[in-house]
Chain A
Amino acid sequence: MTELVRIAENRQELVLNMGPHHPSTHGVLRFLVHTDGEVMSRAVPEVGYLHRGLEKMAESVNWAGYMPFTDRVNYLEAMFTNQVYAMAVERLLGVEVPERAEFLRVIACELNRLANHFITLGCITMDLGAFTPFVYLLRERETINDLIESLCGNRVTHNYMRIGGVAHDVDDDWLRHLEKFLDHFEPLIEEFRALIVGNEILVRRMAPVAVICAEDAVAWGLVGPNLRASGVDWDVRRDLPYSAYPQVEFSVPLGRDGQGDAQSIAGDCYQRFLVRVEEVRQSCRILRQCLQKLPAGDIKAKVPKLIKPPAAECYAAVEGARGEIGCYVVSDGGPKPYRVKWRTSSFSAMSIIEHISPGLMIADLVAVIATLDVIAPETDR
């Protein structure tokens, strides 16, 4: 039998292992929870169970051949990771992406944002005990999966974008189907709101729980909906515009004290939840505008067959569903990347959990993990 080692510091403390296998569907994440019965003294995250060495793999494949690997960095937001890698390389090459391709990228990314938020919102409610909204959102996500499958062939790990543009074009049929989906889905946001967003039990589980103030959020590197829920008004799409975003109008939801419920504070779990619900509506708005404004043209710029960017380095960032996804590429002039580094939002979000965990209950830890939207592939790469 293996040796049992005491980890707890004193005899009153219970050390629980919220192990890599856990029904909270956030991937293989592990927490060592030091607790006194119900209230935690701290929760130490352990990551690395899904480390696949994607950054090292970049050094052994071609620049263009790395695109499928970028899907795996975050398989729920594959379009964003595709786009940010393509943007970084395009900046090094000095390639200008055609207008139609930019709009197609935005359409694909916003669809991906919708799909991702469905999973996140569903998982938040499911982790708190309400299974039904998760199933409803998955039902809607099926249509998005069908749309994306007919666009690029895959339901996940899309490999849709290429350096210089996108891989496949869309036709009027697809656009009409997208519009039909939007017409079908937008009333459902109200239904979702009526069903679960204002539910007293949900609000009490999330309202003044795990408040992350704005200074902490910025210092610990939180991004995306987590950052905005803490009150920092920052969105890469609006503030450092890229792709076709300057040509579409959308508003960026922000967390506030008292929004949605009188006891809610900016930076608590409920604000993070509400910000994502509003982002779903804004994504629908962006999609409708893109449908109207989609120009005709090429879907891919002319790039050389063997891509060899000059010896320079570049950092590109997009606003993914979870926040800023950054890709830092270093080129040495050769056909393979010298170094690719992924800056992902879940990595920073995991690191703040140890800092905010003292004083929370185990049930709150589940709410925190769900609302910070931490997933394993992004954390471990």
Chain B
Amino acid sequence: MEAVEIKNLLQQQLGVDIEWCSDENGVGDPFAVVPAEKWLEACRLARGHEQLQFDYLRALTGTDRPEQEVIEVVAHLFSYRLRHPFVLKTRAQRTQPVLDSISAVWPAAEWYEREIFDLLGVDFRGHRDLRRIMMPDDWPGHPLRKDYQQPDDYHGIPTSRPRAEEQAND
């Protein structure tokens, strides 16, 4: 199926307006944005609907968009059986980002959501084991955010080289 047809099918099944973004010159990938409250339903539909059958979650990415005050979560989907790709996005409010977890739909999403939680701070409701994955458990802040300030030290270990050398020379 073509990406536009997939988007129309989703829109029809979900009953809400889906934002569609596609470049007329064909630059880049087109994507569809569903509202946050329909995220889990859209994913379930994508996996289960017989014309869609997106059985492979290629990647789940989080992008911080401070100018739109949202954190975007992007799911790249693919169907091995029907051989069509799709890009599905949703947006979470930047101040208190909360989304439904889709790890029940694709178990692969478990670790991707942990990574988005760790690096961007999005809370996923219904996740089995949501904790930091890359950073240490007691790290302050979320590094991939655009306004992230690196802390000066971590338990006394300086995070920049000049300070480390200073400390060594003391």
Contact = CB atoms under 8 A, between A and B. Distances in A.
Classify A-B as touching or not with yes or no (CB < 8 A): yes
A47 interface: yes
B76 A219 contact: no
A310 interface: yes
Nearest to A315: B76
Contacts of A92: 27-28
A69 to B, nearest CB: 15
Interface residues of B, number: 32
A56 B106 contact: no
Given A47-B134, A313-B28, A351-B110, A339 B58 contact: no
Nearest to B31: A313
B164 interface: no
B135 to A, nearest CB: 6
B144 interface: yes
B28 A314 contact: yes
A44 to B, nearest CB: 9
A33 interface: no
B29 A221 contact: no
Contacts, number: 85
Interface string A85-122: 00000011010000000000000000000000000000
A312 B27 CA distance: 7
Interface residues of A, number: 39
Which secondary structure characterizes the binding site on chain B? loop
A315 B29 contact: yes
B108 interface: yes
B107 A355 contact: yes
A48 B28 contact: no
A341 B31 contact: no
A56 B135 contact: no
B1 interface: no
B144 A55 contact: yes
A221 B59 CA distance: 9
B63 A330 contact: yes
* Centre residue among B106, B110, B133 by max chain A CB count within 10 A: B133
* Centre residue among A56, A220, A315, A348 by max chain B CB count within 10 A: A315
Interface of A: 47-48, 51, 53, 55-56, 59, 91-92, 94, 218-221, 232, 234, 239, 310, 312-315, 317, 324, 326, 328, 330-331, 338-339, 341, 343, 347-348, 350-352, 355, 380
Interface of B: 23, 27-29, 31, 55-59, 61, 63-64, 74, 76, 80, 83, 87, 106-108, 110-112, 132-136, 143-144, 146
5 contacts: A56-B144, A92-B28, A232-B80, A315-B29, A343-B76
